[in-house]
Amino acid sequence: MPRALYALMVGAFGIGVTEFVIMGLLLEVSTDLGVSLSAAGLLISGYALGVVAGAPLLTVLTAGLSRKSVLLALMAIFAIGNAACAIAPDYGLLMAARVLTAFAHGTFFGVGSVVAAGLVAKDRQASAIAIMFTGLTLANILGVPLGTWLGQQLGWRATFWAVSIVGLFAIAVIARFVPHAPAPRRDGDWRTDFAAMARPAVLLGFATTTLGFSGVFAVFTYIAPLLTRVTGFAEPALSPLLLVLGGGLIAGNLLGGRLADRALVPALVGTILALCAVLASMSVLLASQTGAVVAIALLGVSGFATVPPLQLWVMQRAQGASQSLASSFNIAAFNLGNALGAGLAGLALDSGMPLRALPLLASALPLLGLLLALAALRAGRNRPCPVRAG
């Protein structure tokens, strides 16, 4: 695989850390800024909404630029945004800096997916996308725990300074290894690009992504109480168990890329089916500690095995310059699914549903996504458009 893919992976790693590390620093942030814990938690929601809003907006505004220039500009926004988080004197400015940083998130993964796919032969495009997304999974295993530890030792601002430095390093390696290419040819303006997003196959692809990851995050959000209250693990066991989950994320991401390269449609359907089956079985597996370890490993594998097929699917169903927009929209759909899954799970638990039943409920979401995927396959019988080099 080209070294440029690993340069993109560095950027994905930094973005993954800044998105999730705040979860481990909520107490420090709330104490330092004098806000409630729930208000500090809104920094996570604000970031997710920034991704959803920023992905299509920045993709459209940068559509006439070369993709390498766009990636460099996005990582500059990312580095500046994290530095602004580090020096934010109050909660309002910290929220604004988080939203600014989030604007770079969706477009980086969207444009980066197109660039990654364009660096390799057509039969390796999904694997190339998976390598870039490996940075996101590594962020969860290595970056977030390290960033949390750093923030607890030196203050939460030190974590954001460190992530900003990662952004500067990403700029350097992207500038060095990602090849120059002219701006993609455009057959119309932004209205043409958005019209391409209205195709039934593309819209159903976005909906499938949202529902699939809603199921993943409905369980992932409550993984700690599931393991402690349902399975009976002690709290010190959570860290190594989450490493098992993280290892599954990496394996599933790479496996999904390989499967999608061999046969995209079977990979798309098969990985979503596998996710449904894993979530449905977790209610039983969590009854024993051995079963729980198996369950969280399978959750990681099945959850992220869906990512490369879904990303490549929507890219192939778009055309020309709109491939970057479709890819960015799909990243926004992943983040929307994260928020939707966590919200639905919370409502279900508040209504009195037993914690043990949560995975079974969560399995219904990707199942609905699978039905939409099948509808998308019927709607998308038109010939896929090859992904152009970035």
As averages over each run of 10 residues, the pLDDT of the chain (390 residues) reads 87 88 79 80 80 81 82 93 93 91 85 84 83 83 82 90 94 90 60 70 83 87 83 81 84 89 89 94 93 93 88 74 74 83 83 90 92 75 49
3-state helix, strand, coil in the chain (%, to 5): 85, 0, 15
The set of residues, in sequence order, having a beta carbon less than 8 Å from that of 1 and lying 6+ positions away, is: 120, 124, 127, 128, 131
Res 118: pLDDT:
83
Class of the domain covering 188-390: mainly alpha
Res 93: pLDDT:
93
Query: Same topology for domains 1-183 and 188-390, yes or no?
Result: yes
Domain topology for 1-183: Growth Hormone; Chain: A; (1.20.1250)
Res 363: pLDDT:
94
The set of residues, in sequence order, having a beta carbon less than 8 Å from that of 88 and lying 6+ positions away, is: 94, 96, 97
By C-alpha distance, which of 372, 55, 12, 354 is closest to 214?
372
Query: What residues does each domain of the chain span?
Result: 1-183, 188-390
Distance CA 283, CA 311 (A): 29
Res 290: pLDDT:
94
Distance CA 6, CA 122 (A): 19
